[in-house]
């Protein structure tokens, strides 16, 4: 047993559901007890989704415990098939089904005889993999299923005439994925490379057999897509690029990588000039790094923590593009620690691999950086320690699903990141100066109540009761109650008057 109250990566089934709900017309059925369908709430809330989340639970209750699921799962699968006519139904195991050890595969076999849709069982084990690994695996599973189904051979596979690419791993509830996708598409357009397919985002499973038509695959995020890329490489010899185009150096790396990859196919492109123009004129980040403003960031300290993709890229940007001293950099993707260490070991003093938020909290307190770049959790640690924090990676809350265009990848991404870094540091600076000069000119808001001249007294009980009201509305309640008491000619505010005011005064 492990004592924990916060985790960076969710349980396995969340990963599977994120993949299933990213595809078009794919429905997931969870084998889970009541209440485990919280994914629907998150998707509907965080992404402000207008459509009903295509996830249903086949509920595990006492009866299932006693007699097994029997026909229940099969009935739920066939029912969903009739109601929604999805292309694919994904039966999703949870921690509960992991230990019930029911033969879910058998249910899938039996149900698929009756359904028009395809049915598969997600091959994820709750106790072995987390959300990210499960999403990676499920994506590969679905791609493999449809490639095998279509029976295409390497020999019969025709490539597109112009160079083309598949973008693999853009998914629902991904950190700024939708915005990143726009910028990645623009980047490929600039490079004159056609986009063959984007998966799983809004993709149709019946198109998946066209994946091998692309010249190569591009994997923007390490967390999901690498297994699929490997599968396509093993079966169709498709090379892949897995450099995340986050930060100027990474974008150049990625583009050069693509350039040499194309030349192997006999297509000679020279992107040198393009990179120069973009770096100097489109992205403001390089000039920003030269500008006087950024000079003041020299020697400032920061720490970085997040998923492998974003934490590694951010570490590189801070130390190599902004000249900031990264005290330590870490990731909670413990299964990917070798790659991560290799990426950042020359860029920071220390590499931290952990999924325990207490370790991170203590480490931040001990190292006292000027700014933090991390997840939602680090944001709150920063609040507590009064250190500014820029959020760069999942897990995040609703404020990191912005309506406005905020990519982290590509050249527009470099501008966004420069703003994020600069604002984090200047906020810290401002606070520091304010402290130096004695703070904002603020007066205690409660003493400036309208009724401070009045002759209304509070009885001890009522005052005690007022003290129980949460701080942020206490002043308002106090003022309104006093106003009400004055109007009603009460000399003393007793409990009764306090309640009466709540009932009758216009506090809407």
How far is 74 from 64, CA to CA, in rounded Å?
13
* Binding of residue 397 to other proteins (CB under 8 A): yes
* Binding of residue 82 to other proteins (CB under 8 A): no
Binding residues for [4Fe-4S] cluster are 36
Q: Which two tokens stand for residue 341?
A: 């260490």
Task: Determine which residue in the list 16, 22, 56, 394 makes contact with other proteins, applying CB under 8 A.
Answer: 56
**At closest approach, how far in Å is the CB of 96 from other proteins?**
5
Q: Give the residue among 376, 310, 53, 88 at the shortest CA–CA distance from 177.
A: 310
Per the CB < 8 A criterion, the answer to whether 288 and 422 are in contact is yes
How far is 352 from 406, CA to CA, in rounded Å?
28
Q: Which two tokens stand for residue 21?
A: 């709900």
* Binding of residue 59 to other proteins (CB under 8 A): yes
How far is 491 from 474, CA to CA, in rounded Å?
20
Residues 352-391 that bind other proteins (CB under 8 A): 377, 380, 383
**Per-residue x/- mask for other proteins, residues 88 to 117, rule CB under 8 A?**
------xxx-xxx-----------------
Closer residue to other proteins in complex, CB, 44/334: 44
**Per-residue x/- mask for other proteins, residues 319 to 358, rule CB under 8 A?**
----------------------------------------
Q: Give the residue among 26, 242, 265, 40 at the shortest CA–CA distance from 143.
A: 26
* Binding of residue 37 to other proteins (CB under 8 A): yes
- Span interacting with other proteins, options 18-26, 61-69, 293-301, 434-442, rule CB under 8 A: 61-69
Task: Determine which residue in the list 25, 49, 210, 256 makes contact with other proteins, applying CB under 8 A.
Answer: 49
Per the CB < 8 A criterion, the answer to whether 208 and 236 are in contact is no
Closer residue to other proteins in complex, CB, 172/228: 172
How far is 250 from 315, CA to CA, in rounded Å?
12
- Span interacting with other proteins, options 40-48, 150-158, 192-200, 275-283, rule CB under 8 A: 40-48
How far is 467 from 478, CA to CA, in rounded Å?
10
Q: Max alpha carbon distance in the chain (Å)?
A: 94
**At closest approach, how far in Å is the CB of 83 from other proteins?**
7
Task: Determine which residue in the list 436, 468, 471, 472 makes contact with other proteins, applying CB under 8 A.
Answer: 468
Catalytic residue among 61, 192, 293, 362: 293
Q: Is 489 left (phi over 0), alpha (psi -120 to 50) or beta?
A: left
Task: Determine which residue in the list 21, 22, 53, 394 makes contact with other proteins, applying CB under 8 A.
Answer: 53
Residues paired with residue 331 on neighbouring β-strands, in sequence order: 306, 353
- Span interacting with other proteins, options 27-35, 199-207, 257-265, 327-335, rule CB under 8 A: 27-35
Binding residues for substrate are 428-429
Contacts of range 428-431, beta carbons closer than 8 Å, 24 or more positions apart: 428/370, 428/371, 428/387, 428/388, 429/296, 431/386, 431/388
**At closest approach, how far in Å is the CB of 84 from other proteins?**
9
Tell me, letter by letter, the H, E, C secondary structure of 229-254.
Answer: HHHHHHHHCCCEECCCCCCHHHHHHH
- Span interacting with other proteins, options 2-10, 238-246, 422-430, 444-452, rule CB under 8 A: 2-10
Closer residue to other proteins in complex, CB, 85/349: 85
Tell me the site size for other proteins, rule CB under 8 A: 63
What count of other Cβ atoms lies within 10 Å of the Cβ of residue 35?
Answer: 8
Q: Which two tokens stand for residue 220?
A: 């923007």
Backbone angles phi, psi at 170, to 5 degrees: -90, 115
**At closest approach, how far in Å is the CB of 234 from other proteins?**
30
386: helix, strand or coil: coil
Q: Would you list the DSSP string of 109-133?
A: HHHHHH-SSEEEE----TTT-BHHH
* Binding of residue 223 to other proteins (CB under 8 A): no
* Binding of residue 67 to other proteins (CB under 8 A): no
37 carries an active-site annotation:
no
- CB neighbours of 118 closer than 8 A, spacing ≥ 6? 87, 88, 89, 112, 145, 149, 205
**At closest approach, how far in Å is the CB of 47 from other proteins?**
9
The number of residues making up the chain comes to 508
Binding residues are 36, 428-429
Task: Determine which residue in the list 21, 22, 40, 319 makes contact with other proteins, applying CB under 8 A.
Answer: 40
CA atoms in the 13 A half-sphere facing the CB of 454: 23
Task: Determine which residue in the list 68, 71, 82, 83 makes contact with other proteins, applying CB under 8 A.
Answer: 83
* Binding of residue 245 to other proteins (CB under 8 A): no
Binding positions for other proteins, rule: CB under 8 A: 1-7, 10-11, 13-14, 32-38, 40-42, 44-45, 48-53, 56-57, 59-62, 65, 76, 83, 94-96, 98-100, 126-128, 130, 377, 380, 383, 397, 465, 468-469, 495-496, 499, 502-504, 506, 508
- Kindly list the catalytic residues: 293
């Amino acid at each position: 047993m492990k004592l924990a109250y916060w985790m960076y990566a969710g349980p396995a089934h969340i990963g599977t559901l994120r993949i299933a709900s990213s595809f078009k017309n794919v429905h997931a059925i969870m084998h889970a007890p009541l209440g485990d369908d919280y994914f629907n709430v998150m998707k509907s809330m965080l992404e402000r989704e207008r459509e009903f989340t295509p996830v249903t639970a086949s509920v595990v209750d006492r009866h299932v415990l006693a007699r097994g699921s029997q026909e229940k799962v099969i009935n739920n699968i066939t029912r969903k098939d009739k109601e929604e006519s999805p292309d694919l139904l994904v039966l999703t195991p949870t921690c509960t089904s992991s230990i019930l050890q029911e033969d879910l595969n058998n249910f899938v076999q039996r149900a698929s005889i009756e359904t028009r849709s395809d049915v598969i069982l997600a091959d994820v084990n709750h106790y072995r993999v987390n959300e990210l690994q499960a999403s990676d695996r499920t994506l590969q599973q679905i791609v493999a299923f449809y490639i095998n189904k279509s029976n295409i051979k390497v020999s019969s596979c025709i490539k597109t005439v112009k160079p083309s690419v598949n973008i693999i791993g853009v998914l629902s509830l991904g950190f700024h994925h939708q915005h990143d996708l726009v910028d990645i598409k623009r980047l490929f357009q600039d490079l004159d490379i056609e986009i063959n397919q984007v998966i799983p985002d809004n993709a149709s499973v019946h198109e998946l057999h066209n994946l091998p038509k692309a010249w190569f695959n591009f994997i923007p995020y390490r967390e999901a897509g690498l297994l699929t890329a490997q599968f396509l490489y093993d079966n169709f010899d498709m090379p892949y690029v897995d450099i995340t185009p986050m930060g100027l150096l990474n974008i150049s790396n990625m583009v050069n990588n693509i350039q040499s990859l194309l030349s192997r196919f006999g297509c000679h492109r020279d992107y040198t000039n393009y990179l120069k123009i973009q770096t100097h004129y489109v992205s403001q980040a390089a000039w920003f790094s030269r500008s006087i403003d950024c000079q003041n960031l020299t020697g400032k300290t920061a720490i970085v923590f997040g998923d492998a993709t974003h934490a590694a890229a951010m570490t590189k940007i801070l130390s190599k593009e902004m000249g900031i001293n990264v005290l330590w950099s870490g990731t909670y993707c413990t299964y990917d620690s070798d790659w991560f260490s290799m990426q950042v070991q020359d860029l920071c003093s220390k590499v931290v691999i952990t999924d325990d938020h207490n370790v991170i909290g203590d480490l931040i307190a001990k190292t006292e950086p000027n700014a933090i770049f991390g997840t939602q959790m680090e944001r709150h640690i920063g609040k507590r320690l009064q250190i500014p924090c820029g959020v760069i990676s999942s897990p995040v809350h609703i404020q990191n699903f912005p309506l406005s265009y905020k990519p982290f990848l590509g050249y527009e991404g470099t501008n966004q990141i420069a703003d994020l870094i600069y604002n984090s540091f200047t906020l810290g600076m401002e606070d520091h100066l304010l402290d130096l000069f004695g703070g904002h000119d603020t007066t205690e808001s409660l003493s400036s109540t309208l009724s401070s001249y009045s002759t209304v007294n509070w009885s001890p009980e009522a005052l005690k009761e007022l003290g129980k009201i949460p701080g942020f509305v206490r002043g308002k309640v106090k003022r309104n109650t006093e106003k009400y008491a004055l109007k009603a000619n009460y000399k003393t505010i007793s409990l009764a008057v306090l309640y009466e005011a709540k009932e009758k005064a216009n506090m809407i």
